Structure 1
């Protein structure tokens, strides 16, 4: 049975250019304007600092009834009592994370091929982040995944998919008719001069082209 989450507008965090107070206010503005799920992804923080920040963030996401996902760190998920974890190909295995977290937590997986999608499904992933759809500055090495591959992954797995990688208000239309349930963004909101407006505009495009 599918867990209760909405992938429409999936915000991946980045606080590298801002302080914690601005960071939290920026996310709250986005939550008020259409973000449906938040992933705390802060590779430069040690686990204790991540947990401290995550607890502050969870108070906000809980207030808006939006799931909080932690990137990569299962220990932090438990300490924060976050809703789940997102795992890449080089992170802890999905099966091991499931063993630790139990059936109630959400586990997302980064998937780029049909083969990896089938393996992730068998291991117990609840949703896939598929991409990068477009080149992105968030990661140095960008391996692109075509929209046709995204569609094929969904066709053979029937696991909910959020499209990731270089997506913003200017190119969401390219996902029209695809199997993506939503889009994941980092810079399009976190680097925006007005995150509330950016979130609202992106959500409007998602609802128009993907629903």
Structure 2
């Protein structure tokens, strides 16, 4: 039994126990109270409480409906899961920057371009060409399809130049953007990619 089922069972048990205790307390109060106290205090209080509970329930139903609609929109829409990292490719086992993109939305994605930008700069660096050993742009991905784009070897020098000229030498806020016809999916540069760029810049 997984964690979700355990939580659901515990929630049901809690609700049942709370309801039972509330019923017992209500019966006890009703039995031990005189008629005037019951009709003038208890019953109006319970009626008001019922109105509040009904109002909160209606509000919760509205929020739940909006949340479900948003989740359904995400499921039915365009979505990409991307990994940008340093990969090793055969036959020479050379390290290269590459991005692996998987379509996880029900709507097909028309991939058009890759770009690199930083929150520290107003200028973006477009990836003009891709290595011929990987897939090429533009292309369309349907649900479950995967592609890999290998950045040319000179892209490392271009990124380092971009960082020095436009980002004050900081790699911290760099992003790779996978651009489709209607969206852009951003991937932060991870530590491995930044280290690879710094080492390549030092050895230049």
TM range (shorter): under 0.3
Q: RCO greater where, 1 or 2, for CA within 8 Å and sep 6 or more?
A: 1
User: TM-score, structure 2 length as denominator?
Assistant: 0.20
User: TM-score, structure 1 length as denominator?
Assistant: 0.19
Which structure has greater strand proportion?
2
